[in-house]
Amino acid sequence: MTVLVVTSGKGGVGKTTTTAALGAALALGGQTVCVVDFDVGLRNLDLVMGAERRVVYDLINVVQGDANLSQALIRDKRIDTLSLLPASQTRDKDNLTVEGVDRVMAELRERFDWVICDSPAGIERGATLAMRHADVAVVVTNPEVSSVRDSDRIIGILDAKTLRAERGERMEKYLLLTRYDAARAERGDMLKVDDVLDILSIPLLGIIPESSDVLRASNTGSPVTLGEPTSAPARAYTDAARRLNGAEIAMTIPDDRKGLFGRLFGRRAA
């Protein structure tokens, strides 16, 4: 059983999209998965999952004991092994207590093969609680200097403020590079993959191309790995999910304009 946190220092880099896409891909592979929205006050994961009208109870209700976990979990209509624990839109992140989150995470560990925590951006309370129980972290960044710099700070937080850090244990951390455009990188309009890897020095899990397919899938309430399964982003997310399960898959730079993967990229994921 694995708890994974999807995190970043900067907002708008694709954490919620990534949580939904990886969760669906892992569930399609036959594993039981729960995606958990820690972004209290905003609550977007249920929208991307197409479950916003089915939310009755949420994470805060379970943390505070107003509902049990079974009442709050929403099972996906398309994949039987995929569930969602939504965030509250009306409460404040201060309603999240360490003790309550500890209890909820312990129960989720007993029920699912994967628990994927969608963290709010930055280092405030919701973010630190989202990463507290993680065994593995996926650090999502765009190929721009401010995003990469903020991700470097998050890596430091992961090494200092998690239960694994308190126990002196190492957390596996992977880089997921989103909204990548190979042509713009070649022109110098954004950082190249090697530049980002040199700055962050964590293994590369995947490269997700800039693509309208991601937005189109989100707008229809479907993770891109379900809504646009043959698209370049969906294939890149599916490969990333397989790498999380230990598969050795050569890293590629996706080229969305052709709808095909571009040239092979030499460095492999860990």
Per-residue H/E/C for 139-199? EEECCCHHHHHHHHHHHHHHCCCCHHHHCCCCCEEEEEEEEECHHHHHHCCCCCHHHHHHH
Among 113, 141, 138, 145, CA closest to 5: 138
Q: Which residue has the tokens 């708890």?
A: 3
At 219 the three-state DSSP class reads: helix
pLDDT of residue 263: 38
Reported pTM: 0.90
Return the closest-CA partner of residue 132 out of 117, 120, 146, 121.
117
Give me the helices (H) in the chain, please.
15-28, 45-48, 59-63, 69-72, 98-111, 125-132, 145-158, 163-166, 182-187, 193-200, 212-219, 224-227, 232-244
* CATH superfamily, region 2-264: P-loop containing nucleotide triphosphate hydrolases (3.40.50.300)
How far, in Å, CA of 127 to CA of 121, rounded? 7
What are the Cα distances from residue 70, in Å, to 4, 20, 65, 114, 211?
Answer: 21, 20, 12, 17, 36
User: Nearest-CA neighbor of 124 among 92, 147, 167, 100?
Assistant: 92
pLDDT of residue 92: 64
Residue 7 vs residues 48, 66, 159, 249: alpha-carbon distances, Å: 17, 28, 13, 23
How does strand 136-141 pair with strand 74-75?
unpaired
What is the per-residue pLDDT for 93?
A: 64
Give residues with Cβ within 8 angstroms of 236, minimum separation 6. Answer: 206, 207, 208, 209, 252, 254
d(C-alpha 143, C-alpha 132), whole Å = 27
> How confident is the chain (270 residues) per 10-residue block, as mean pLDDT?
92 92 96 94 87 93 94 96 89 79 96 96 85 96 91 92 94 94 88 90 93 86 92 94 93 58 40
Instruction: Give the domain ranges of the chain.
Output: 2-264
Token pair 């990534």 is found at 18
